[in-house]
Amino acid sequence: MAEGERKLANGRERIEFSTEPARYRHWKLSVDGDIATLLMDVDENGGLFEGYQLKLNSYDLGVDIELADALQRLRFEHPGVKVLVLRSAKNRVFCAGANIRMLAGSSHAHKVNFCKFTNETRNAFEDASQFSGLPTICVINGTAAGGGYELALAADHIILVDDGSASVALPEVPLLAVLPGTGGLTRLTDKRKVRRDRADVFCTTEEGVKGKRAVEWRLVDETAASTRLESVIAERAREFAERSPRIANGAGIILRPLERRRVADAIEYDHVSVAFDRAERLASIILRGAESPAPATTEEMVALGASFWPLKLARELDDAILDIRNNEFEVAAILFKSSGAIKNVLAYDAFLEQHREHWLGREIRLLWRRVLKRLDMTSRTLVALVEPGSCFAGTLAEIVFAADRSYMFIDEREGDNREPAQLAVAECNFGLYPMANGLTRLQTRFLADPEDVERARKKLGETIDAEESQELGLVTFALDDIDWNDEIRVFLEERRSFSPDSLTGLEANLRFGGPETMESKIFARLSAWQNWIFQRPNAVGEEGALRRYGTGQKPAFDPRRV
């Protein structure tokens, strides 16, 4: 990438989300049979930006990017691993949490996106345990504070060394005037079921909780004396490995680096194209369907490895979404388009459905679930344009159902010999890809009329034209050639005229109707906490807690409740 393409308009380096173990600065991953160990050993001088040091295993977005990559590689490259042991390589400290100097000096947008990615990474640990049979044991050998304890909370089992000094703490309220917003409070109450009064004491106590009380209050699962720690870890790892349902046939695949070509206003992947119209504040993403037919056997799928079309497309789309989120703050709307043969998309979905018990097929579909959730959580207006030659079918149709607005072209364009716009649903649209609220996108769409989900299901195996898609409620509007350009232009102009803040709130509220889950609570509270508390002078003002932390000066708070 040329130097000019690496820099953003504000002079900041573009944040890259693609990495690999050879480039890690903060984590060490090792595998011994069916047990993997991930050591947190943060390089103090390896911060993503200048102006702070990552002392005491404190972390920034760069640390979490590596962590997310390590977990992804365990799922795809090491399918025989049945338990992950997460621990610190530093003496008497597990993790001091998110780096305070980084938070104090970051833009509001970066703080929010950092917290969002951190949430998604913590959720991925629980996803791996629930759906891939890959549980995590977290070993706390010293201080686990703030985001460090939140990382531990994502594990299935927490072991705290009982040495008189090791502790767990969520000290954000007394120290920083903010909150443990990457799932901390929610996991305390919803996952570990800590009593409300004890949680109140815990979250307002700077020094945290140790030993026997930490177990009694359900903050950790067990303690172990320093002399017995290694034997307890080995014993628990063996117990979890023996209970794991993870079954893998043969070796894993290598997640090779994505091939990506970037110029000033575009990014080109093998199956994804991204174009930026900066004057109109638009990003257009085109997804290309498979050019070759689906393989005949799982052996062929494994042999294709990271180049297997559904896997490569998911990784490329994920990278594109993260790039827009974190580097393109001026983009108001993302337009999704597709091109290719619907029959090929459905053939790959049918292949993965047929081989849903195969470890790689399962992991690919679980990856798509996470990528689609990432899309749901992206604070941009999402628009799907279903045009002639589109291949929004099965898995790719989920993008249409995820959109805030969807437009479908009626019949053919004059002079265009491509197939008229069509949609198609597959079995995967009816349970495989739930949102954070636990419902599918179609169930969320049809909360008032659940029978409409069944109407759509009756169309399995068929292609659905624009007018029928609108009648079934699968798209917002079906438009002909006369209205297409004007309707979409007016909509996008209107969208750009609205406050980005109010649109973020509107879209986030409307995307998650229906029941609450722990996951939906985490993200809803993240929006409220980070978008409000992180802007209050009590936290980020010149006399606020984040600014004055470590200076010897006490923060000055505006005492009024708002």
What's the pTM value of the predicted model, to 2 decimals?
0.95
pLDDT confidence of residue 5: 54
pLDDT confidence of residue 535: 84
Phi, psi of 392 (to 5 degrees): -75, 95
CA distance 430 to 318: 22
CA distance 397 to 372: 11
Q: Give the architecture (CATH level 2) of 261-510.
A: Alpha-Beta Complex (3.90)
pLDDT confidence of residue 530: 66
CA distance 172 to 195: 19
Mode of pairing for the β-strands spanning 157-161 and 222-224: parallel
Q: In this structure, which topology does domain 19-243 adopt according to CATH?
A: 2-enoyl-CoA Hydratase; Chain A, domain 1 (3.90.226)
**Residue 443, both tokens:** 């169930």
**Residue 51, both tokens:** 């102006």
Q: Which of 263, 256, 320, 257 is nearest to 288 (CA)?
A: 320
Helix (H) or strand (E) holding 276: strand 272-277
DSSP states of 205-269: -TT-EEHHHHHHTTSSSEEE-GGGHHHHHHHHHHHHHHH------S-----PPPP-EEETTEEE-
> What does the domain layout of the chain look like in residue ranges?
19-243, 261-510
CA atoms within 13 A on the CB side of 55: 6
**How many angstroms separate the Cα of 512 from the Cα of each of 444, 457, 507?**
7, 22, 9
Phi, psi of 455 (to 5 degrees): -60, -45
pLDDT along the chain (562 residues), means of 10: 52 88 97 96 96 96 98 97 98 95 89 93 97 97 97 98 96 91 91 97 96 98 97 98 85 94 95 97 97 95 97 98 96 97 98 96 98 96 97 98 98 88 98 97 96 97 96 98 96 95 90 92 78 84 91 92 80
Whether 19-243 and 261-510 share one fold: the answer is yes
CA atoms within 13 A on the CB side of 518: 20
CA distance 15 to 47: 12
**Residue 38, both tokens:** 């991930």
